[in-house]
Structure 1
Amino acid sequence: MFITIEGIEGCGKSTLMEKLANSLRSAGRTVIMAREPGGTSLGDRLRAIFLDSTLRIEPWAEAMLVNTSRAQLLKEVIRPALERREDIVCDRFTDSTIAYQGYGRGLALGPLEQLCDLATAGLRPDLTLFLDISVAFSRARVVGRANRQDRMDSQSDAYHERVREGYRSIAQGNPQRVKTLDGSLGASELLQAALVEISVATQ
């Protein structure tokens, strides 16, 4: 099963991914964790460029950077795992590109979707968990991080509002695949909500 976790900064994706993977492994499943951008040697180098707060990156260049990383991740990690019938839990996938570069940056959705399809050869997640939080809640969490804020963290509230609305639009348009969870829940409650959605999706 290919599961992706989506949401704006500070929504709890990384924490949920780790807890979800551990829970599924405890149930006897083989789980591979991945993240975007990154997850491969090439992807990790591109991630460092993408998040570098000293750079000003043109929106289409952003989209191409993440899709280059994505194509490599598909080749090296995701497709081989799926062929072995293992589960994949991925922190971000194509919905991030549509939300951040499409709704956030204002890029045309049609060409952006085509670019994503080229990178993935049309592969779609079986289930996407969208962790929805307010921008104010996001800011509070990001400020509390021990590590330095990156280029995406430092974008304006208006930008993150557009991204959030983008995710909501994606969820509304794909109700079978995208399930919206309350990202302000505690880690244990959020895990249980995610497990319920996985159980329903696998029935």
Structure 2
Amino acid sequence: MLTETNFAADRLAPLWPPGKQSAVALAFDVDGPTGDAMLDGSLLLNPRYFSQGAYGPWKALPRLLDLLSAYELKATFFIPTWVVLHWGAHCERIVREGHEVAYHGHRHEVFIDLTREQQLAIMERSRAIFQERLGVTPIGFRTPLRRLERRDCGSAARLRCSVFELDARRRPSLFPSRRSSETGSRRNSRSLGHR
């Protein structure tokens, strides 16, 4: 007996492991006092920026790691490597407890304003810091500040990284999008079979 199949619906159906009906991806940015104030020099003029920014890696991160441990959850932490250099023990704990760390610039640079060579230099420096300080080579990348541009994917591709753009403010969706490092095209993670 022949039955009609809706191939489009089948292709969009998520592929869940047996007995599972949903998935959650936990991802956190551990920016510390990096970003605009560090990049434009105003951080030195306003210590409040530093103390507020430092709260994340200094106090909030250990609490977050305790919470994830209590519920036996794993997450991805996007970390500017300046933070790795200044809160190394906290970042080492992320790796020690089995979480993923991923590229997020060195000082949370505005990648859209940089040349491909500058982007690559930052990512290479970041890779060296991750390897030296944490003993890992990240495979994920989230662009710091601003949205990801197609040309930005080339720098990540040179380091064999996956590029993730998880900005619900720009693309409201239940499913985060993933950009192909080689083409810069956006694909829905649901169609990639990610957990």
Q: TM-score, normalised by structure 1?
A: 0.40
Whichever of the two has the greater Rg, that structure is 2
